[in-house]
Amino acid sequence: MPQTIPLAQHLFKRLRQLSCHSIHGVPGDFFLRALDRIRPSGLNWIGNANELCAGYAADGYARAATQLRRHRSAPSPLVGALMTTYGVGELSAINAVAGSHSEHVPVVHLVGTPSRKAMREPNARLPVHHTLGDGRAEVYAEMAKHVICAQAYLQRMANATEAAEAYDGVLEQAVRASLPVYVSLGSDMVELRVPEDLLKKPLKLEPPENEKMAEERAVHQILEMLQKSQAPLLIADGMSYPFDFQSEINELVSLTNIPTMSFTSGKGLVDESSPSWSPALPNTTDYSREADLVMMFGPLLTRWTTIPNTGNTILFDQESVELFGIVTELARSKAVLRALIDKLKEVKFGQRADVGETNFAQTPLGKAVPSASDSITQDSLWPTLSSFLKPEDTLLLANGTPLIGGRSLQLQPDSQVIASPIWNAIGSMLPGAQGIAAAKRDHGLPGRTILLEGDGSFQVTCQAVSDIMRYKLDVTIFIANNAGYTYERWLNGMDAEYNDVPSWRYVEAARFFGAKDNDPSYPILAKRVETWGQLQDVLADEKAGDGKGLKIIDVIMDPKDVPEASKPGLSRASAALRSA
């Protein structure tokens, strides 16, 4: 007789094989029994205050892959996992799952449903709770289909082994596509037995090899273009994180000395101490505007992004390379990059070109250092935070002014920046920071988790502070507290009440959420800073910078203040709202 284990244990142990050691969620009756199987499978359960927070946290957890890869010798996948109950739970989280889809984050969404019988024989007269009351048992799975890459509806499988195999199949898809997947499990299926040996069958996580001819042709063409180009430009953009292009990009930069920039979501990909790195936005310098070749990795652009207007663009997407508008579909673009690097090692490139002045170097401070009693402006805050940064920091930029201002940070080596220019949901980054911190702890990864937050964002998902404290996670939060949706003020309604948010006492957050007084195992630091001098004091405070426990720095700012350099872009965006 083969050894067997409960089906739930198979599901959880597979997650652990994908480096997921913590499952985020909110308990719900339909999967309470599955929760009993998490710890025996070697994982942790992280109970969030609500499902949206859990979804964002699972997304954050998966984004720690960047750091995990750097610290592991073997290639290392990493997925996030979210577990919610049927209907009310899964729909509360669906916005986070959709966000994972839009930005290519592999999250496994497990949904605990009523029993197989209840799902097969819905009864509109005596409906199961959490249904719409009309007998449409599978309606939520239908809704989820739009925002995931694959679904395993385990209730429909003939037996437990088939269910386990269907599950394995969607895990493979999640990792290969770097996208969320949806798995639903009947409440009666938790303890069904499956052969333990199934877990020994390796998951097929690698995409197939590229068609050799196509790969070689692409490499050849790119090489030719690079050699011909007089003014090339590399742009490392945000999707390079999930597509795992980072090490290849850095090798390319150091082999070629080509000037390299990034939009905000790509910050951290390239070592900022490299002589080829320029902090300028790719659309703001004469050099970049006149580049005769742009090679862009992992584009995470939006309609409002202005990209250099060269006819010669090479785009590296996940499974395609675009050369001059012609797209070559491939199994893995990363392999093209690797082959290109091998070729480049035989070629000599010149010195770095001068890319000219940038508009994001710390000019405001260069011009006039504020005095201690001055209030804190957007133009003084963000560059100043650079002095606070350390190697291995993971920095999350909330949408709004932190996303704008965060790009003036000068990063230390091996930092990661998490920004969300496409999904752009306010509130996602606070629970995201919780997820990052959990992944760092689970895997013993170094470096702090630092969130640059907005007050409007904080209010969306404030209960994540409770989740952070409950699990004693290390998170440092700066809140740009400008009493409202400042980014939106610049789009419409500069003085409108609808752009205000109430003034919370952020420094009392830890206390409200139940912090113990003077708990030596979990230090808490909370400061409200209104002046430049107070900010400097905090930044110089060793305890503020040690990354341990929870820090909340509430930075008071003017409601209408935005970085000077962002004003033209905001004006364009505002005008775009008024036109068709």
Interface of this chain with a second copy, residues 19 to 38, rule: CB under 8 A: 26-30, 32-33, 35-36
In whole angstroms, the minimum distance from the beta carbon of 344 to a second copy comes to: 27
Cβ atoms of 154 and 189 within 8 Å: the answer is yes
Distance separating alpha carbons of residues 123 and 131, to the nearest angstrom: 10
Tell me the C-alpha distance between 175 and 14, whole Å: 12
Neighbours of 135 (CB within 10 A): 14
Q: Given the complex with a second copy, which of 127 and 533 has the nearer CB atom?
A: 127
Q: According to CB under 8 A, which one of 187, 284, 434, 534 is a site residue for a second copy?
A: 187
| Among residues 424, 536, 544, 559, the one that binds a second copy under rule CB under 8 A | 424
Taking the C-alpha atoms of residue 86 and residue 186, their distance in angstroms, rounded to an integer, is 10
Q: Which of residues 351-390 bind a second copy (CB under 8 A)?
A: none
DSSP string spanning 272-334? Answer: TTSTTB--S-TTSSHHHHT-SEEEEES----TTPPPP--S-EEEE-SSEEEETTEEEE-S-HH
Q: Which stretch binds a second copy (CB under 8 A): 91-99, 162-170, 286-294, 389-397?
A: 91-99
Residue 92 binds a second copy (CB under 8 A): yes
Least gap, CB of 466 to a second copy (angstroms): 5
Of residues 432-461, those binding a second copy (CB under 8 A):
459-461
99 makes contact with a second copy (CB under 8 A): yes
Q: Give, in degrees to the nearest 5, the angle at Cα 575 between 569 and 577.
A: 110
Token pair recorded at residue 451:
């969130």
Residues with Cβ within 8 Å of 516's Cβ and at least 6 positions away in sequence, in order, are 522
Told to check if 49 binds a second copy by CB under 8 A, we report yes
- CB atoms under 10 Å from CB of 577, counted, come to 8
Given the rule CB under 8 A, which of 66-74, 229-237, 295-303, 404-412 is the region that contacts a second copy?
295-303
Hey, is 437 helix, strand or coil? helix
Residue selected from 227, 302, 387, 571 as contacting a second copy according to rule CB under 8 A: 302
User: How far apart (Å, rounded) are the C-alpha atoms in residues 394 and 385?
Assistant: 14
Cα radius of gyration (the chain) = 25
Q: Which stretch binds a second copy (CB under 8 A): 160-168, 276-284, 462-470, 550-558?
A: 462-470
151 counts as binding a second copy under rule CB under 8 A: no
- HSE (CB half, 13 Å, CA atoms) of 159? 4
17, 76, 102, 250: which one contacts a second copy (CB under 8 A)? 102
Q: Applying CB under 8 A, which part among 284-292, 463-471, 530-538, 561-569 lies near a second copy?
A: 463-471
Residues numbered 465-484 forming contacts with a second copy, rule: CB under 8 A: 466, 469-470
Identified binder of a second copy from the candidate list 5, 137, 249, 509, rule CB under 8 A:
509
216 C-beta neighbours (distance < 10 Å), count: 14
Strands 107-113, 4-6: pairing kind? unpaired
Pick the piece of the chain touching a second copy (CB under 8 A) from 67-75, 122-130, 163-171, 281-289. Answer: 122-130
Closest distance to a second copy from the beta carbon of 396 (Å): 17
The rounded distance, in Å, linking the Cα atoms of 334 and 318 is 8
- Which listed residue (232, 259, 370, 427) binds a second copy by CB under 8 A? 427
Restricted to residues 549-578, the positions that interact with a second copy (CB under 8 A) are 573, 576-578
Q: Which of 42, 71, 72, 142 binds a second copy (CB under 8 A)?
A: 142
Provide long-range contacts, Cβ within 8 A and 24+ apart, for 388-392.
388/539, 388/545, 389/415, 389/450, 390/447, 390/448, 390/545, 391/415, 391/447, 392/67, 392/445, 392/446, 392/447, 392/448
The only residue of 347, 369, 496, 575 in contact with a second copy, by rule CB under 8 A: 496
In sequence order, the β-bridge partners of residue 82 are: 24, 109
What is the rounded distance in angstroms from the CA atom of residue 559 to the CA atom of residue 284? 27
Location of structure tokens 């385990």? 154
By CB under 8 A, name the one of 8, 64, 98, 160 that touches a second copy: 98
Pairing of strands 181-186, 150-153: parallel
Total residues binding a second copy (CB under 8 A) = 97
- Closer of 337 and 552 to a second copy (Cβ): 552
Among 182, 316, 382, 485, binds a second copy (CB under 8 A): 485
Lay out the site mask for a second copy across 1-20 (x = CB under 8 A, - = otherwise). Answer: --------------------
Q: Does 522 bind a second copy (CB under 8 A)?
A: no
Q: Please identify, among the stretches 11-19, 247-255, 505-513, 561-569, the one whose residues bind a second copy according to the rule CB under 8 A.
A: 505-513
Is residue 122 within 8 Å of 128, Cβ to Cβ? yes
